[in-house]
Every structure is written in C-alpha cells, then in structure tokens.
Amino acid sequence: MKKLLLIPAFIGSLSLVNAQIVNDNKVSFGYIQLPQIKVDDAFTNYEVKVVHGYLVSNQDSLAAFELNKRVSIEVFESMMAAYHQQNDSIESLHLRNMATWQTKVNAGLTQSDGTALPQPIRPIGPIAPVYPRFDSPLLHADYSDDAVTNAINIEGFTKGLGGFVVTADIQAMENMRISYKKSGTGSATKYTYTAYYKLPVLVTVESPTQGKIIYLRILEGIQSYKLGDYKTTYDFELYRNQNKAKIHSDVERAARIKAIRDVSNYLNDQIGYLKRRRTAEIYSVRKFKDYDYSDVTSAYSLSIQALNQFANDRYRDGAMDQLDQAIAAWKEVLLESNSYDKKARINNKITSMIQCNLAELYAWKGEYAEADLNVNLAINGGGKFKRHAQAVRSFYANQKNRWNANQ
C-alpha cells in the first residue's frame, strides 16, 4: 500500500518538472495619472483663495459665552436677592424672639427650677450663592493665507492669475475629545493620550468656462493627534489643568497642517496630472523542453519598451504604435493556444499568462473593453493568473474612469 501511495506523488513531481516555468517580472514605469474631473485645457494657471470659516465659530463661541455670562449673573443676582430676603426674614424672627426673651428677663421671670431663661439661638440661615466662574472660550487661532496657498500645489498646473480658482474654506476644529490607552506593566506602565477631532474644509474649484466643478466639504471623518505618554493618568490631568489652551493650540496647529496637505492631495487626485509609478507584473516564459519561446520573449520586450514610453506623456500618444506592436505580438502567440493539452507549447497556463499581459497593455492604450475581456478570460483560467487578474481589476476600473473623463 505504501508503494502505491508513492506513485501519485512521483507522477505529480514529474508533472512539475515538465511544466512550463513562468518568469514573474516586476516592471516599474512612470505614468501621469489623469484627473477624475477635467479642467478646460484653456487654463494652465490656478489661483488659491482662503476663507477663514473658523472665525464664524469664534463669533458664535463669544456670543454664547456672553449670553451664558449674562444669564448666569442674572440667575446669581436673583438667588442672591432670595438669599438676602430669607436671611432678613430669619434675622427678623430672631430679633423678635430676643425681644420677648429680654422682656421676660427684665420682668424677673425664670425657669421653673429658678435658673435663668435661656437666650434664643439664631436659626440657621440659607447658604449664600457663589458668584459664578467664567472661563473664556478656547477660540480658534488665526491662520495665515500663505500657510494655505503655499501648501496647495496641483501638478500639471502653475500658480498664477488668469486661470481657474481654488477656494479653501477652513472650518473650525470640532468635537475634540481626549482618551488614553494603557500599556506595559509594573513600573513600565504608561498611558498614551490621543486627541480625536474633526477639521473639515469646504473646497471649491471654479473654471471661467465650466463654472463650479467642485463644491464639497471634505475631511468629515475623525482624525487623531498623539499628545504624549504619561506614567499616570493623574500626571496628564495635572498637565491638562494647567495647559488647556496649549493643548487646544497644539492639536489645532497639527490638524490644520494635515488638513491642508489632505486638501492638496484631494485636488491632485481630482483635477491634477499627478506623476506616479506603477509596478506591474509582465510575464514571460523560460525555455522548456525543445519548445522555442523566442516569440514570447520578443512580445515581452516590446511590452517593456511600450510601457517605458509614457512617463511624461499624459495620453500616451507617443507610445500607441509600440503598444499596438506589443499587443499584436502577443495575439500572434495566442493563435497557437491549446487549452486542452497541458503539454502544448501555448497551453492553458501560458494562455492565461498572455491574457494578463494583454489586459495591462490594453488598459494603457485606453481600450478598457478589451482589458476587461482579458481580465475575465484570465480569471476563468484559474490558478495564479486568476488571482493576478482579480487583484488588478480595481486599478483598471479607476484608470478607466479617469480616461473616460478626459475624452
């Protein structure tokens, strides 16, 4: 029985030895990411304007503070008047009691045992109200226009007048809360404090010919800023009690720097021509048995040459001929495809490999229907090329949306 079990394993090892070996070539090349929203080609300049929306929040905070202060003082004065009224009433009652007592004492009256009449004790009066404490609101610090305009840079365009206008309306930092995480044990215990907040920005992009092409409040999610590590929670509470304004200022400063950086990234993703690099897998085949794969090697070389042509070419116009040559070379190899014979030169495995290569080339050519077709064919082929095709699907879909937006 043991000998019989070894036979399938031996046959399997033979099949691995006889199988074509695919070279997984990671190819890195530059490209220009097209925008999701195309700005009219007539405009190559843009101007950044800043709106300090947080100032409205400051005005609201000050107005609320003054209203609360006025109301609190009015409540205090009302309570104080009531206090004096109650205190005066008790004092009057006490004085009447004292007058009655003194009259009796002057008349020579005593208690039944002959001792002196006890002096009346003044009743306990009400507790006087405490004047309210007013802590000034933590206002949002001013933020210079230059800090915003210098940090927003949109690739593919130049800052200057006569183009489209980007407006960044800096909102107030809101919903700030502080929490900690405990880590370590014993004397190595520490408490890491983090501030969580929101700092949205209203972004507007207006083109003279297209009007308002972006009008969106972004960065609505919760952000975080590490405040530091402390040995005990009481150490932090002591620090916070003495440094509330500084903590607020530190968090806000960092939050704004991050927010404006995120605004710049958002604008580059939406309307910029961002220079990027992609590392793609373009497959080839090693020499196998007596089969000649020089045509595969040639198609691979043509593919690499084509992919290296559009690092500075937005629409890959200069690479289209080479992409066509590479695609034609792969399709010529596919004419020999035989998915039913594992020992065939272009068997199912090599066929799926070529379909993955073709999908990449068609995507860069802007022929996404063909790219999707080859992705689906590779997925149907199964194995590693199925996984490859599933992994690149979302990238091609994103590129397709950008390509279509620019046609």
Structure tokens that stand for 70 in this block: 């006025």
The CATH class for the domain spanning 45-52+142-270 reads: alpha beta
- For the whole model, what pTM was predicted? 0.82
Beta bridge partners of 158: 45
**pLDDT tens sequence across 258-292:** 999 999 999 999 999 999 999 999 999 987 777 89
* pLDDT value, residue 19: 67
| Residue carrying the six token digits 């205090």 | 76
* pLDDT value, residue 60: 92
> Which residues are within 8 A (CB) of 164 and not within 5 positions of it... i.e. 6 or more apart?
39, 40, 43, 45, 46, 47, 205, 206, 207, 208
- Strands 274-285, 22-33: parallel, antiparallel or unpaired by DSSP? antiparallel
**3-class SS at 42?**
coil
* pLDDT value, residue 9: 40
367-372, long-range: CB < 8 A, 24+ apart: 368/396, 368/399, 368/400, 368/403, 371/396, 371/400, 372/396
Which whole number is the average pLDDT over 355-360? 98
**3-class SS at 170?**
strand
Question: In whole numbers, what is the pLDDT of the chain averaged over residues?
Answer: 93
* pLDDT value, residue 20: 80
Count of positions (residues) in the chain: 407
Q: Answer yes or no: is pLDDT of 95 > 50.
A: yes
**pLDDT tens sequence across 196-230:** 999 999 999 999 999 999 999 999 999 999 999 99
Sheet strand arrangement including 190-198: 174-183, 190-198, 223-230
* pLDDT value, residue 368: 97
As a whole-number percent, the residues of the chain with pLDDT over 70 amount to: 95
Which whole number is the average pLDDT over 350-359? 97
